[in-house]
């Protein structure tokens, strides 16, 4: 058996574990309790999200993959040769393979993700598939500004890649700040390829975020399990429910953990009171139109270049110039 080559670079810039504790305690002390969605993605949460992407109801992953496959040659032609690819929130690094195969002589791949274990595994698998490609894995919170000096130098232009409509997890002001924060990383002449979920009927969206197998519910409830594991909490999962629904007025799916009883739980030594029906916000998923996302990108300083959608206009992929 051929031995896998080592990764070119692994850089650990992840925040200290205390930040999870601080964020949880601060979020649970608020009138509207909330925990940042980035904390859903520990090792188990990341694995559960991969399973969500395989459920019949969850259309975004397979639709985006088909758009990329159908338009890879056109995307590559617009990018040109020798680009260094930077993926924000790389996860399992699956969709990026389509781009790497299509691009003309890519100069390297940089995977950025907060989930340390998944990042290492995914980057090593990619190194096995593309043995000649320089690969750097950076463990970091990609939602925060990233110092370009922490990345390998780009011999040519950079292409940012942000698939999966993860942009929808940001409220609009945060999405604007994230896009603007990507621009220094991409540099002059760089580009951004980003997947964006589109507005559609509520029934399809509600089904996608409440799959019949209960995988999405397990993903949300895993946040409580993570607090039990890491913060000495005593949540009883049977006393909580996954609560997700589309809010058409705000054009977003809203996801919560709902308390099924009046209860007091302990987290990191602190007592937290929850009323029956009270909810802990975990995630938003904003939905855009092609035009509204282009306007957002332009406000962040990007120039929209091209947009690709599927035949049913469920999903869109945008190429933006820096």
In a domain, 98, yes or no: yes
Contacts of 121 (CB under 8 A, 6+ apart): none
In a domain, 292, yes or no: yes
pLDDT of residue 3: 45
pLDDT of residue 8: 58
Give the up-direction half-sphere exposure of residue 314: CA atoms within 13 A in the CB hemisphere.
Answer: 19
State the angle between helix axes of 43-52 and 116-129 in degrees (0 to 180), rounded to the nearest 10. Answer: 60
pLDDT of residue 148: 87
With a cut of 70, list the residues of the chain below it in pLDDT: 1-9, 14-18
pLDDT of residue 156: 87
Name the residue range of residue 297's domain.
56-200+287-321
Place of tokens 């990191």: 268
From the number of C-beta atoms within 10 Å of its C-beta (0-12, 13-18, 19+), residue 273 rates as: exposed
In a domain, 216, yes or no: no
Report the number of distinct structural domains present in the chain: 1
Separation between Cα atoms, residue 318 and residue 309, nearest integer Å:
9
pLDDT of residue 14: 67
pTM: 0.90
In a domain, 164, yes or no: yes
CATH of the domain at 75: 3.40.50.150
């Amino acid at each position: 058996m051929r031995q896998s080559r080592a990764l070119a670079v692994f850089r650990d810039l992840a925040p200290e574990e205390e930040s999870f504790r601080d964020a949880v305690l601060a979020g649970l002390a608020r009138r509207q309790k909330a925990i940042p969605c980035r904390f859903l993605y520990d090792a188990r949460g990341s694995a559960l999200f991969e399973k969500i992407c395989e459920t019949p109801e969850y259309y975004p992953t397979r639709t985006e993959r088909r758009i990329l496959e159908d338009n890879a040659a056109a995307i590559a032609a617009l990018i040109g040769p020798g680009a260094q690819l930077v993926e924000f929130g790389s996860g399992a690094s699956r969709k990026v393979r389509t781009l790497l195969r299509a691009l003309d002589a890519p100069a390297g791949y940089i995977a950025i993700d907060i989930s340390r274990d998944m990042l290492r595994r995914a980057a090593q698998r990619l190194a096995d598939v593309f043995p000649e490609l320089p690969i750097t894995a950076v463990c970091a919170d990609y939602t925060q500004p990233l110092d370009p000096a922490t990345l390998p130098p780009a011999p040519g232009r950079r292409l940012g890649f942000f698939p999966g409509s993860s942009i929808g997890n940001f409220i609009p002001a945060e999405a604007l700040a994230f896009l603007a924060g990507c621009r220094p990383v991409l540099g002059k002449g760089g580009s951004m390829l980003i997947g964006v979920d589109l507005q559609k009927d509520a029934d399809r969206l509600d089904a996608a975020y409440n799959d019949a197998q209960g995988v999405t519910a397990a993903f949300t409830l895993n946040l409580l399990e993570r607090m039990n594991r890491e913060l000495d909490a005593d949540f009883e999962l049977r006393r909580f429910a996954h609560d997700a629904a589309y809010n058409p007025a705000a054009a977003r799916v809203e996801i919560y953990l709902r308390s099924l009883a009046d209860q007091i739980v302990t987290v990191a030594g602190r007592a937290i009171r929850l009323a029956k029906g009270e909810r802990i916000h975990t995630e938003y998923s904003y939905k855009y139109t092609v035009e509204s996302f282009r306007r957002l990108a332009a406000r962040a300083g990007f120039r929209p270049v091209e947009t690709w959608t599927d035949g049913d206009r469920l999903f869109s992929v945008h190429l933006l110039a820096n």
